[in-house]
Structure 1
């Protein structure tokens, strides 16, 4: 199996968290390859900057009307190596916590809503707050930071007293970790070094707090907010190949043949667990294993 085939299979069978990391990494690599091609070809490197600008969220509302897709693309876009490195490390860490403590099916939902909230606060601030008027439309926003902050605050709201262990610090409850991250962003705004980014972080944190509150109160199912979120959360779901059909009763021979096929599939799944571990199973394989265990009880 080639490396490219392994990557495609890993993406296809991976969790939402794995796919988010793959997409962010893939976009970063494409941008860097574009820069390399332009450099080696002796072409103007400004072409790469044009691509980045078209994928980043502009602070100018008129430019945003021309580039509405940037509200989504910006949250998967990174330019510097250390920017994507730390964002993906935080995404992996907080994403695993969210999947384990909350609901892995809602990870993409909160990722997208966090990014949208971060972009909204960024655009609002740069157009309505006097302190940012001089920068105006010359500013743009990119990166997954707002989405990552939303994930952190959502899981911290649902499980505030869950303890994590930080290097050189020790055990820290999630609510204090989230509070510390929020304060750092808040006091960093006057520095003006990455004002737009810090504002986006705060927007992501606020929507994460709201989403986590709705989850913890059991108010996330069935309302308008969740219906909109579910549509974004279904983007990475694999379509089932199952079809409902009406058929005649099976004969003993057909039943035995079906039983043998099922047993072969279970043997294949068990062998896959033995070689790659339980986490390597797809959702359908895990469900089949669960159904088989229930049949034996």
Structure 2
């Protein structure tokens, strides 16, 4: 394989700072590792060792509250393992498409928060569903969930809530606004609550609710992702003439302008922005 291709891939995933490439890379890498490690177990013919089941048991998120004290780490690990190639493929495609739009308007730190927070919220919804609804009473002790679907759902709904009238072109359907796409996705999950994968649907809905809540709170001026923000180190500086004052003022004016543009998007949609407003928002997303 071409060395430059490997180096470029390594840069995109681990060094570019783009969280979309990072999460896609980690999910794909872990899928390949599990797939290759499972080959010798399968070929050995040892029936007592089911490697996929082993991975799901110890890295998937359990429905049983009694297992959580020893499997607490699974609230994160379950978000990075998948039950088959198609499960991985569709999650990564949606993550790529919606993640690129998300990062056109918001920061990588906010993407990290929505992805991981959506996965955690999905796990919490999964636990609640299995321990509340009688239909799950017979399977709660053994049930587990794996996959990045809740995290991806959080990104999809967060993006659709931020820019509901932003359109993407879909095969056979043409241009579709994100708000309709998200509503269709959620409707499918609600229907899925009466299916064999009801637990997975509850997980996805938990992620969707988190993505929606994050953007709604962000519109009100509160950014939950500040939890991920590094605190600046204190340093002693000399008193200088007030050259920097105009720069600070300009920065605050720019932030006020960005907030006003985001408010306009939430009320009227992305398509209603002027060319200058779109340019301002695009430049701001790169900082």
Say whether the fold is shared (TM-score over 0.5): yes
Map 1:111-260 → 2, pairs under 5 A: 111-191=115-195, 193-220=196-223, 225-228=224-227, 230=228
Displacement after TM superposition at 1:180 (Å): 1.1
2:34 is the alignment partner of 1:31: yes
Indicate the SS of the match to 1:22: helix
Instruction: Give the number of aligned pairs.
Output: 234
Question: 1:63-113: CA deviations, max 9, x gaps?
Answer: 121111100000011120111011111111111111113333311110000
Residue 194 and residue 107 in structure 1: after superposition, are their counterparts in 2 closer, same or farther (change >3 A)? same
Distance change in 2, residues 1:227/1:105 (3 Å): closer
Distance 1:11 1:245 in 2: 37
Q: Normalising by structure 1, report the TM-score.
A: 0.72
- Residues 60, 77 of structure 2: 8 Å contact kept: yes
- 1:155/1:2 CA distance change after superposition, 3 Å: closer
2:111 maps to what in 1? 107
Cα distance in 2 for partners of 1:6, 1:162 equals 31
Partner Cα separation in structure 1 for residue 75 and residue 141 of structure 2:
15
Provide the C-alpha distance between the structure 1 equivalents of 2:216 and 2:62, rounded to a whole number of angstroms: 30
1:127 and 1:172 mapped to 2: Cα distance? 38
User: In the superposition, relative to structure 1, how do residues 245 and 4 fare at CA in structure 2: closer, same or farther (>3 Å)?
Assistant: farther
Contact preservation (8 Å) 1:28, 1:79: no
**Partners of 1:213 and 1:125 in 2: how far apart?**
25
Distance 1:216 1:113 in 2: 18
Cα RMSD, aligned residues only: 2.7
- Report the alpha carbon displacement of residue 166 of structure 1 after superposing the two structures with TM: 1.7
**Counterpart-to-counterpart distance in 2, 1:35 and 1:27:** 12
Q: Which residue of 1 aligns with 2:23?
A: 20
Gaps of at least 5 residues in structure 1 are 235-243, 247-289, 291-297
| 1:146 and 1:202 in contact (8 A); partners too | yes
Alignment of 1:74-113 (within 5 A): 74-113=78-117
Question: What is the rounded CA distance, in whole Å, between the counterparts of 2:180 and 2:8 in structure 1?
Answer: 40
**SS of structure 2 residue aligned to 1:165:** strand
SS in 2 for 1:160: coil
Deviation at 1:3, TM superposition (A): 5.6
Gapped runs of 5+ residues in structure 2?
A: 238-286
TM-score (norm 2): 0.74
Instruction: From the CA coordinates, give the structure whose radius of gyration is larger.
Output: 1
